[in-house]
Copies of this chain bind each other. A is one copy, B any other.
Amino acid sequence: MKTKLFTIILCCFLTFNYAQEDETVLRTLYTASLTDGMSYEWLDHLSNEIGGRLSGSKNAELAVQYTKAELEKLGLDKVWLQPVMVPKWERGEKEKAFFEVAGFVNEVNICALGGSVATPKDGISSEVVEVQNFEELAALGKENIEGKIVFYNRPMQADLISTFNAYGGCVNQRYAGAMEAGKYGAVGVIVRSMTLRKDDLPHTGSMSYGDLPVNQRIPSAAISTNDADLLSKALKKNKGIQFYFKQSCQQFEDVLSYNVIGEITGSKFPNEYIIVGGHLDSWDLGDGAHDDGAGVVQSMDVLRLLKKSGITPKRTIRVVLFMNEENGLRGATEYAKVAKEKNENHIFALESDAGGFTPRGFSFAANETNFNQVLGWKALFKPYLIHYFELGGSGADVGPLKSETNVLAGLRPDSQRYFDHHHAANDTFEHVNKRELELGAATMVSLVYLFDKYGVNPITNHRKIKE
């Protein structure tokens, strides 16, 4: 009985001390990020010196070289490039579009969707049919669609609090709109831009033709929300409006590119891997500062902040800058494939790919035991106004690493402004706030520190306690 009591007291004492140590470490990490972070400086270079980094482009190559060189300056144990073949699609000349009402030409702002085919050289002009969804399209059928341009105009739902949910409710129009409309003989597709803002900027993004035969692949473009509203209004008042658009985008052969990886080898459990990452590629219209320059530089700073704060990780901590998240996910697929081949035990993978805004918390993919462990850490984050610890998705790039026993997580920044910039020309450095970016990096490194210290499951913890 005495022994039991002693054990309880000892446990309480140890728990208290552990918690106190963790509080101190988190304070150190947040201070380091806010007063001596590198994320903002790196993002400045990535955005302003390099710019948009579409997979297979010269800029993507420059970004690979730059981030590798910067990681090499950090004194990590290893830095390397992981080869991966990626798609190469180019936008070509600036797109052009207009529609005429009563002899008045309304020029509208469009951009080709990533992966779309071009229009014929002189563009296409045809009657335009507005639909809200695929059900309406099917109801109209071939007799009403053939030879026409389909205009998908379902807006993002403004009453949803998470703008990602609003995006999720609309993005099938962009991704599969051409595939669906092509089946009914449409000659082109115009999609309302995926943003809650009313402005003149078209937002690009990936689309797919699925298994559609080449001769049924029709050009597909996004139109700005202001112009979508203008067109919709005109269609309500006028019959047979002709819409013209021209785009000269092109798909090339796949080219060689790379994931950029850096590593601090674990001091006690080098075969347990914790990774943190974002994607190095971006769309081409802006400079990809939020999507996903922010995630890249925050992930890089996680390793730097650990080193800077004198923390010697027990487990191997890797930063992985994934190539080709936007239009192929080839980097993520390759990383997971190699990890599996090498039988690398990835116990925790954290992704930042939701913009460089004030962090609110994390979304986790984890079993109950591991999630409960995570919930036990939540109070540590309260001083930093990090409240959101919920089960849900993690991220596209870390997704392929999921196992029964590991934990995946995605940083969840405030989402209100994300789709104002997402895949558009205004996804640029000046729209990233330095402190918001740095708070994200601090929040990420804090969680990485805790996973490194405590591991992810009872077996791991047991081993830790025995040390």
Assess whether A159 is in contact with B385, with CB atoms less than 8 Å apart. no
- Residue in B31, B161, B435 whose beta carbon sits within 8 Å of that of A383 in the complex: B161
- Number of contacting residues on A, CB 8 A? 26
A316 at interface (Cβ–Cβ under 8 A)? no
- Residue in B31, B196, B436 whose beta carbon sits within 8 Å of that of A435 in the complex: B196
- Which residue on B lies nearest to A37, using beta carbons? B158
Assess whether A387 is in contact with B384, with CB atoms less than 8 Å apart. no
Assess whether A30 is in contact with B161, with CB atoms less than 8 Å apart. yes
Residues of the B chain whose Cβ atoms lie less than 8 Å from the Cβ of A435: 158, 163, 196, 416-417
Residues of the B chain whose Cβ atoms lie less than 8 Å from the Cβ of A433: 416-417, 420
User: Known contacts being A358-B358, A358-B414, A385-B360, is A158 close to B34, with CB within 8 Å?
Assistant: yes
- Residue in B163, B385, B420, B434 whose beta carbon sits within 8 Å of that of A197 in the complex: B434
User: Known contacts being A196-B435, A385-B161, is A358 close to B34, with CB within 8 Å?
Assistant: no
**Which residues of chain A (432-448) have a CB below 8 Å from chain B?**
433-436, 439
**Which residues of chain A (373-431) have a CB below 8 Å from chain B?**
383-385, 387-388, 414, 416-417, 420
What is the minimal beta-carbon distance from A242 to any residue of chain B, in angstroms? 33
**Which residues of chain A (1-51) have a CB below 8 Å from chain B?**
30-31, 34-35
Assess whether A158 is in contact with B416, with CB atoms less than 8 Å apart. no
**Which residues of chain A (29-86) have a CB below 8 Å from chain B?**
30-31, 34-35
How far is A393 from B434 in the complex, measured between Cα atoms in Å? 27
Assess whether A34 is in contact with B159, with CB atoms less than 8 Å apart. yes
How far is A414 from B387 in the complex, measured between Cα atoms in Å? 13
List 25 A-B pairs, Cβ < 8 Å.
A30-B159, A30-B161, A34-B158, A34-B159, A35-B158, A35-B159, A158-B435, A161-B383, A161-B385, A161-B439, A358-B414, A358-B416, A360-B385, A385-B387, A385-B388, A387-B387, A387-B388, A414-B414, A416-B433, A416-B435, A416-B439, A417-B433, A417-B435, A417-B436, A420-B433
How far is A163 from B438 in the complex, measured between Cα atoms in Å? 14
**Which residues of chain A (339-384) have a CB below 8 Å from chain B?**
358, 360, 383-384
What is the minimal beta-carbon distance from A369 to any residue of chain B, in angstroms? 24
How far is A385 from B165 in the complex, measured between Cα atoms in Å? 14
How far is A159 from B197 in the complex, measured between Cα atoms in Å? 33
Residues of the B chain whose Cβ atoms lie less than 8 Å from the Cβ of A358: 358, 414, 416
Residues of the B chain whose Cβ atoms lie less than 8 Å from the Cβ of A35: 158-159
- Which residue on B lies nearest to A433, using beta carbons? B417
How far is A246 from B414 in the complex, measured between Cα atoms in Å? 43
Assess whether B416 is in contact with A31, with CB atoms less than 8 Å apart. no
Assess whether B30 is in contact with A384, with CB atoms less than 8 Å apart. no
- Which residue on B lies nearest to A414, using beta carbons? B358
What is the minimal beta-carbon distance from A370 to any residue of chain B, in angstroms? 23
User: Known contacts being A358-B416, A439-B416, is A161 close to B384, with CB within 8 Å?
Assistant: yes
Tell me which of A35, A384, A387 has the highest count of chain B C-beta atoms within 10 A of its own C-beta: A387
**Other CB < 8 Å A-B pairs besides A360-B385, A420-B433, 18 of them?**
A30-B159, A34-B158, A35-B159, A161-B383, A161-B385, A161-B439, A163-B435, A196-B435, A197-B434, A358-B358, A358-B414, A385-B387, A385-B388, A387-B388, A416-B433, A416-B436, A416-B439, A417-B433
